[in-house]
Amino acid sequence: MFSRVPDDSDASEFSSDGGWIAWFSSLKGHEFLAEVDEEYIRDSFNLYGLRPRVTHYDNALEMILSDDAPDHSDLEDRHFQEVYRDAVNLYGLIHARYIVSPRGLQVMREKYMKSVFGFCPRVLCDRQHVLPVGVSDDLCVGRVKVYCAKCELQYTVRSKYADIDGSFFGTSFPHIYMLTYPTQLPLDPPRPFVPRIFGFKIHRHKGVITRKREKEREEEATR
């Protein structure tokens, strides 16, 4: 888990309204995360296989389903911190399953349409919306990245989101999302960058995207 335990610097984020899920989802830097329905978590079928992956599984699950948000005294307690870390990991693994469910996809679509995940940093992708993705489905392998469906590349996220484990989204989410909402796939291919010297193209120089498009055309021609 890369998420830190909130401290006094998060004083404005402590609220008695709602339970643990609402509180955790509202923390700064957690804007990418969907608020998983409690009903989904209480269905044991959705949690199958997660118990061996979390040390304090029962305590962590109890914390996630708690009606009360933690306060300052809770977050200063060492035992609470241990369970909290496992609760974050467990919630993240549940989250990865939830966001590819019909309801979860709808929640993530709303975020996508509102540009919550941001835009592709590649200038020639013309502010194509991106989606969060992990480099692995296992915990603590890598932090969350963003995926651009136009250039089909992954990028590092802004520092405020860098504490989120990539497994909280998994490696398949962007692709399932685009299969579910095909109308949101970019219609135009990415524009390749054309390097020039004093306005003149560099002879025989081809970028990665140009080579990729040429290869795709060749493969289509041989089918």
- Which one has a higher pLDDT value, 169 or 220? 169
**Token reading at 183:** 């109308």
Report residue 76's pLDDT band, with 50, 70 and 90 as the boundaries. confident
**Is 41:57 a contact under the CB 8 Å cutoff?**
no
Average the pLDDT over each of 84-93, 118-127, 206-215 and give the range with the smallest value: 206-215
Question: Which residues, including other chains, have CB under 8 Å from residue 16's CB and lie 6 or more apart?
Answer: 68, 69, 71
**Is 130:146 a contact under the CB 8 Å cutoff?**
yes
Distance CA(108)–CA(35), nearest Å, equals 10
pLDDT of 11: 42
Supply the pTM of this predicted model: 0.84
User: What is the percent of the chain where pLDDT is above 90?
Assistant: 66
